[in-house]
Each structure stands twice: as structure tokens, then as C-alpha cells.
Amino acid sequence: MEKYDITIIGSGPGGYVCAIRAAQLGFKVAIIERYSTLGGTCLNVGCIPSKAWLEASEHYHKLKHQFEDFGIDVKEANVDIAKMNQRVQDVVGEIINGVAYLMKKNKVTVYEGHGSIKDKNTIEIKGEDKTQTIETDKMVIATGSKPASLPNIEIDKKRIISSTEALALKEIPKHLMVVGGGVIGVEIGSVFARLGSKVSIVEYFDGLIYTMDKSVGHQLYRSLRKQDIEFYLEHKVTKTVAADDKVTLTAQNRKDDKEMQLEGDYCLMAIGRKPFTSGLGLENVGVETNEKGQLKVDDNLETNVKGVYAIGDVVRGAMLAHKASEEGVFVAERIAGQKPHINYSLIPNIVYTQPEVAGVGRSEEELKEAGRAIKTGSFPFKANARAKISMDTDGFIKVIADKETDEILGVHMIGPRIADSYTEAVVAMEFRAAAEDIARMSHGHPTFSETFKEACLAATEDRALHI
């Protein structure tokens, strides 16, 4: 029987990164993946394909609606959904192959099959052709999550679909109904709205991306309405019925209990995800879970069973690929006796709509509820030269700082290429910078990043220069 120092169950961004770091630290490492490709949900049916679809649909939308203003005359533009889909799969394939290469490079042994825990040092792997058993000193559970649905609605994967099926559609829906105005709902809704679908988003709360600062949710709502997405906020979905080539959705207005119906050809369930732990054999070792089905872990991400760790979507915290990766590195280094740390308050949330959204630190609502004395500064992209040049003027950057010390406590952004430019805010907050520290730094001109400087100036005695 083969024996390893560390075995990881699950090869998503948490699992494969944990494997690489553990191998770098000199451990003999194995990773178990139940599917034929590495990368988990993120690489195969989540982060990567969704962003590839978003990128493609954004190019098409700009070609249709903005190129003429740039002086570029395009006589006709059409979507070849099959070719677009193929390019998405090509991108996914390249990245998956890259992960496989990294496993070989770092001498990580890959097992294909369903991993099941027999005891805290033994794992059984059931493949298509054979069953194997391996021994391990430590194990890391990184099995990720799967789409959730409402209690009374079954995802049939045909007309009532999850994000997995939505990202593999072979046709552009005539009318896509989306249940949930969180990250998944607004991203996939954006894709098909830009490609020509009628898109209706039904959201239980009174705003979009409800876990983020309310100001960015309000702006995103306004921006997406201009892209012809229709919204039914504060509506509770009570029923969906699929028949042949259509779906009927019934929802109740939470303010007046009035019922309404929508009819479309597809209904996307986008209310979130839930931990995937079925068939893991947790009961064989007594790993404890909480009321959400997440594995209970301590500050070292170790379960109640010594030597059994868990990371990513199966434990508490945001279900984010980059959070899982940080935890993967953390666990490998903890096992090696190092003293790593993760600042969970500085793990950013990102939404890849157009405009893009990102938030890091605490929201204004959270800080006010905590009774913290704060000051805020905001600067709009419509006053930014680079945004005017690129015709991306929707949005703003908001900086929240401590009223007495000026330390930056939260930064909330919505605007062009925010997913890349938010990192300056993370670095600033990691080093506990004051708003004035950023305000006094030179930012290149013309750049989108000047908006962050101006927002910091606005938070520092209302000193913004260009508005």
C-alpha cells in the first residue's frame, strides 16, 4: 500500500494549490480527483468558463453599441454561439492542462476516482476500473461545493438549470429567468443579456449582491437596467414549472403579497452553493459539521479529528477560489511547522459584470452597526480621464476610513477593470495605510487608478481635485 505524508481530496483552487505548496516544502503528496480533469468547479464549470463567456459577450456588446462612437464602422455583427462556446472550452482546456503540468512538475501523485475516508490515515479510491487504498499521515478535505436550490424547486438540468448547465448552453435563450441577484445571477444574466436574451432577475432582498456594500449594489442595479436587464426585487420565488420548451416561474411580492408570473425558455437557479461532502466517509472518523453542512475547523483549519484538515467551500467563510487557495497554502505551511496567517477581512469579493465590482474590508453598513466612527470619500469614474477615453464612465470608488486615525477600513469599487485595480486597496489595507498615504502617492495619468487616489483625497477633508 502506497503511503503519503499529505493527501488532498479535491483538486480545485484550494486542493491543487495546497498540493503544490506541500510538495515545495518537501512532503510526499497525493491528490485525489473524482473527475477526469483537475481544477474542480472553478476551472471546469465555474470561474474560468464564466469569465471567458463574460469577456466574449462584452466584446460583442461593445461592438454593437460603442464601436460606432469610436469611429469604427462595422456593417454587421452576429454571434456564432458554437464557436464562442468552443473558445471557452479551449481556454478551460489550456488552464486544466496547466494544472496537470504543475502536478507533474512538483511530483504530486494524482489519483482519479472517488476518495472515501476509511480512518484518519486510510483513504479508499474508487475509480472506473479499479479500487485502490492508500495510507496518509495527514489529509486535507478540499471537495468544494455544488449549486443550491430552493426547497420546493428541483434543478432538472434541462429547463431549470444551474450555472453549470448555463455555461454549456448551445443556444441563446429567448428569455432567461434568473432566481437570485447575487454574483452568479448577475454575471450569467449579463452574459446572455449582452448576447440578445431577455433577462429577468428575481431577487428576495431589496438590492443586488446583498453581502457587499449597499452603495455598489445600488449602482450595479442602475447600470444593469441600462443594459435592459429587468429586475423583480423583494420577490420570493414560490414555484417553477417546466414543460417542454418553457418554464413558468411564480413569485410573491414580499411587500404586498401580490403574486406574479414570468414565462421563459430557461430558468437559472442562482441562489448560492452548498458544501459538497457526500460519500466522503466523514462518519467513519467522526468529523463534525455545522448546521450549514460545513466542516467545523479550528484556527489552524484542522477538524476535530487530529491530522484531518479542511479548506475552501467546505468550511466557514466566503466561497471564493482565492480564499481556498490561501487556505491551501496555510495548511501546508502549518503542517510544516511554519506560522502563516490569513487576514480574512482582506479577502476581496469580485463581480465580473460590466461595470465590474470589488469590495475589500468592511462595508459602511457593518461599520455603522458596530458603532465605529468613520468618514467616507467617493469619486466617480465619469470624472476620470481614462474612463472618458474608453467610454466606461459608470461607477465610482468609495473609501471608508477611521474618523480619528484615518486608517482605511474598507474600499468599495464599481467601474472599469476593477477586478485588476482593486489590489492597490488590498496592499494599502494590509499595511494599515491611512487614506492620506494613498492621497499623497503619485498615480500615473491618465489611468483608472487615479480614481482611488481621488477617493482617498475625498475621504481626507474632502480634498478631491477633479470634481
Instruction: Name the residues annotated as catalytic.
Output: 445
Strand 408-415 and strand 396-402: pairing? Answer: antiparallel
The helix (H) or strand (E) run that includes residue 243 is strand 235-243
The helix (H) or strand (E) run that includes residue 430 is helix 423-430
Q: Are 124 and 118 in contact, with CB atoms under 8 Å apart?
A: yes
> Residue 141, annotated ligand binder?
no
Distance CA 158, CA 175 (A): 15
> Residue 387, annotated ligand binder?
no
> Residue 359, annotated ligand binder?
no
> Residue 320, annotated ligand binder?
yes
> Residue 361, annotated ligand binder?
no
The DSSP secondary structure of 275-340, one letter per residue, reads E--TTS-HHHHT--B-TTSPBP--TTSB-SSTTEEE-GGGSSS---HHHHHHHHHHHHHHHTT---
Q: Is 274 exposed, middle or buried (0-12, 13-18, 19+ CB in 10 A)?
A: middle
Q: Are 229 and 141 in contact, with CB atoms under 8 Å apart?
A: no
> Residue 113, annotated ligand binder?
no
Torsional sign, CA 221, 226, 227, 229: positive
The helix (H) or strand (E) run that includes residue 205 is none
> Residue 238, annotated ligand binder?
no
> Residue 184, annotated ligand binder?
yes
> Residue 203, annotated ligand binder?
yes
Residue from 308, 332, 310, 276 nearest 118 by CA: 308
With cell 503519503, the residue in question is 4
> Residue 410, annotated ligand binder?
no
> Residue 306, annotated ligand binder?
no
Residue from 40, 130, 136, 128 nearest 92 by CA: 40
> Residue 137, annotated ligand binder?
no
With cell 411580492, the residue in question is 253
Distance CA 10, CA 44 (A): 13
Strand 131-141 and strand 3-9: pairing? Answer: parallel
Strand 396-402 and strand 374-380: pairing? Answer: antiparallel
Neighbours of 85 (CB within 10 A): 18
Q: Are 29 and 4 in contact, with CB atoms under 8 Å apart?
A: yes
Q: What share of the chain is helix, strand, coil (3-state, %, to 5)?
A: 35, 25, 40
> Residue 180, annotated ligand binder?
yes
> Residue 272, annotated ligand binder?
yes
> Cell numbers at residue 273, please?
452553493
Residues contributing to the annotated binding site for NAD(+): 180-187, 203, 272
Summarize the annotated binding site as residue ranges: 51, 115, 143-145, 180-187, 203, 272, 313, 319-322
Q: Name the binding residues for FAD.
A: 51, 115, 143-145, 313, 319-322
